[in-house]
Every structure is written in C-alpha cells, then in structure tokens.
DNA sequence: TGATTAGATGAAGAAACCTTCAGTTTCGGG
DNA sequence: CCCGAAACTGAAGGTTTCTTCATCTAATCA
C-alpha cells in the first residue's frame, strides 16, 4: 500500500484566545529543543507535546501532522532571519554599497551564529520535509528586500541580483 | 520506555561459503540503491532485502540491526575511497610535493564525483547512525598514509599534518 | 551417500509511532 | 451566574517497521 503521498500542512485552527497562542509557541519551542536534545530520528509528536507541557491532542489541534510541525518550526526560524534582514535593509537605504554589503553580511552571520546548533538541526530537517520550498521562499523574499535597498544606493549598478545571490550563498 | 540506548553492531557471521559473500554484497549494494531510490526515511530492512533478492532473515544473519547495516554501507564506501588514496600514496613516493598534492586532489575529486549521489546519500545517513566515528577513523587512516608519503618527498617540510587536514576538508 | 554445518526463508511477535476523538476543563460575553 | 465556544486531555486504534526463530534447503566432507 502506498503511503499517502502528500498530506495537508495548513494549520488546523487559528489561535484566538491568549492561552492557545501560548501553546503554539511552547510547541514550536519544544520542537527545537527536542530536535537539539535527541535528534530528528527520535523526535516524536508525543515527546514534543510532553516537553511543551501540553498533550498530544493539543499539538494536533494546531498542526495536522508531524511534517507540518517541523515545517512550521523551520519557517519560524527563517522568518526571524528574514526579519533581521528586513530591518537592515530599511535602515541602510541611501547608504553606500560598501556599507550595505558589510551590514548585510554582519546580520547574516549574527543570525546564524546566535544559535548555530539550531540552524544545523533545522537544516537537517529541511531535507526530509519539503523544506527546500520554504527555504526558497524566504530567499526570494530576502532578494526582493535587498534589491529594494540596492535601488537606493548612491552608486548606480548593473548586476544586482548576482551580488545578492552570492551573499545568500554564504548562509 | 527508553529505547535501548546502544545496540550491537558487529557482524553476526563471517561468510565462509561463496554464496553468503554474494548475499552480503547484494545486501550492501541494495542498501545504497534503496537509499538512492526512496531516501533514508523510507529505507526499511525488508525493502533492502527484497531488492537484494534475499529474505529479511538473511539480512539479519549478517547485520544485527538496521543501524549496523547502514554503517556497513558507509564504511564500505569510505574504504573504497581510502583504497584509492592508498594507491596514490604508494605510487607517488619520492615525487615532488607539487606532484603529490595534485595527484591527491585529483583522486579525491574523482572518487567523490564518480557517484556524487551515493556520497550525498551516505553522508545524510552518517548523521543518524554514529557515522561520524567511521568517517573520523577513515580520515585518520588517510592521514597516516599521506604522512608516510610526505616523508619521502624531495623537499623537507615542517607542517605536514595541517596540509593534510586542509586536503581532507575538501571532501 | 549420509551426516553435519552453513545459509536462507518468511510468518509472527514486539516495539514504536502517528493520529483521532469522545469527554472534560477553561474562557468570555450576555 | 450561565452557557456556548475554545482549548485541552490522553487512552486507544491503526500503521509501519524492526527483529526473531523454527523450519527448510544447499553445500561440504568423510
């Protein structure tokens, strides 16, 4: 029997009360903690729920399946990085190219070094889940942001996208 | 209940007849094929046995568990690489440093490029199994070989181990 | 050729997980 | 204070996969 090839991955409920939002947060945090603690092979939904201080049922109220849970954790992490990039892009408009570049690199390294283990753990997950898609989305997003910033640079430039790509490669 | 923390990983039997050696070989090959075909997440011992043309029982006659099977596959691959390195080291004694270096790099790249997919697949496994240990062992082994070769170089040298390390990093 | 050992088989036991859902508790507005 | 909705719970169902073992077949040797 073939395993069901693709499963839903949208959240089941949107938290409306405060406590549910807290649960989602705890679950996402717990996911990374478990990932770091026992590795992805032994990460089980029950274990995550336990660590989050909720029951499995609660977990499944917000994440339709294990895969979606991992994707959500990955997405959240990347969102944080993207946010950092966004901040830098907005605060460096009208600066020189050199300034832009150094600031960007600095931000990336900071974000990655802050908790290198987490990054590695999540990266290892992204191959199992369809994490490539999520990573790609975020890289596209960052690209847009950077292009916007570059447009306001003092110097004119011809090849911007390639510069950007090389920056992203560093991550 | 905690999963049994560490399981035996030594082979169960040493093949003495020809057919058993063939079985072991088929199983090891099948392991890589399955790895390439369906990925490590869906690699099961039954599937490997099926592909190898033997029964699960036969598989378990030579590999005490799934983990040991994967480790064996990894080890075998690395042994091949090491063998290639060994050959190069022995045939390049008394040559100049430059010759040694280029030959080594060439060998490494060839070995890795020959079937890049296999390398990647096995690498992805090495994180789940305690593959790091195996990889380390083989890197130590290569180190010895290279040091031996370097000792016969035309030019004298002070820092050899570091050179070696940087070579291995490329892999 | 008969006995002994190596090798192979696959159904069945056992363990680990994912996921559901009927029932319970908590929250917030009327 | 009461009631409907939102959240939470965790035992149980159902899969999947690992691993064992009693049994059968093939090879080796005297």
B168 pLDDT band (50/70/90 cuts)? Answer: low
**What token pair was written down for A158?**
């011809």
- Read off the pTM: 0.77
pLDDT for residue A3: 32
**What token pair was written down for B13?**
């039997």
For residue B170, pLDDT beyond 80: no
* Portion of chain B with pLDDT greater than 70, in percent: 82
| pLDDT, average across residues B55-80 | 94
DSSP for residue A28: H
pLDDT for residue B74: 93
Round the CA-based radius of gyration of chain B to a whole number and report it.
Answer: 19
Closest CA to A67 of A53, A48, A54, A83: A48
B125 pLDDT band (50/70/90 cuts)? Answer: confident
Low-confidence ranges of chain A (pLDDT < 70): 1-16, 157-171
**Span CA (A94) to C1' (D17), Å:** 59
- A88: phi then psi, degrees, rounded to nearest 5: -60, -45
pLDDT for residue B64: 95
pLDDT for residue B5: 32
- Per-residue burial over B50-78, b if 16 or more Cβ lie within 10 Å, else e, is ebbebeeebbbbbbeebbbbbbbbbbebb
pLDDT for residue A169: 59
Residues, CB < 7 Å to strand D: A 1, 3, 13, 15-17, 19-20, 22-23, 53-58, 60-61; B 7, 17-19, 42-46, 56-57, 60, 64-67
pLDDT for residue B165: 60
pLDDT for residue B34: 95
Positions of chain D reached by protein Cβ under 7 A: 6-12, 15-22, 26-28
**Span CA (B19) to C1' (D29), Å:** 18
**What token pair was written down for A73?**
């954790």
pLDDT in tens, B99-112: 988 888 888 888 88
**Span CA (B60) to C1' (D20), Å:** 9
Please compute, for residue B43, the number of CA atoms within 13 A of its CA located in the half-sphere on the CB side: 26
């Amino acid at each position: 029997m073939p395993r069901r090839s693709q499963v839903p991955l949208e959240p089941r409920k949107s938290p409306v009360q405060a406590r549910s939002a807290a649960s989602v947060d705890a679950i996402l945090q717990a996911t990374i903690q478990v990932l770091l603690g026992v590795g992805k092979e032994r990460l089980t939904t029950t274990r995550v729920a336990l660590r989050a201080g909720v029951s499995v049922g609660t977990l499944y109220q917000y994440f339709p399946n294990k895969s979606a849970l991992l994707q959500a954790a990955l997405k959240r992490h990347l969102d944080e990085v993207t946010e950092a990039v966004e901040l830098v892009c907005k605060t460096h408009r009208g600066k020189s190219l050199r300034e832009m570049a150094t600031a960007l690199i600095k931000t990336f390294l900071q974000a990655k070094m802050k908790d290198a283990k987490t990054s590695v753990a999540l990266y290892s997950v992204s191959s199992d889940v369809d994490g490539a898609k999520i990573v790609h989305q975020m890289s596209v997003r960052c690209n847009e942001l950077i292009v916007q910033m570059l447009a306001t640079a003092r110097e004119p430039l011809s090849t911007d996208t390639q510069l950007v790509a090389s920056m992203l490669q560093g991550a």
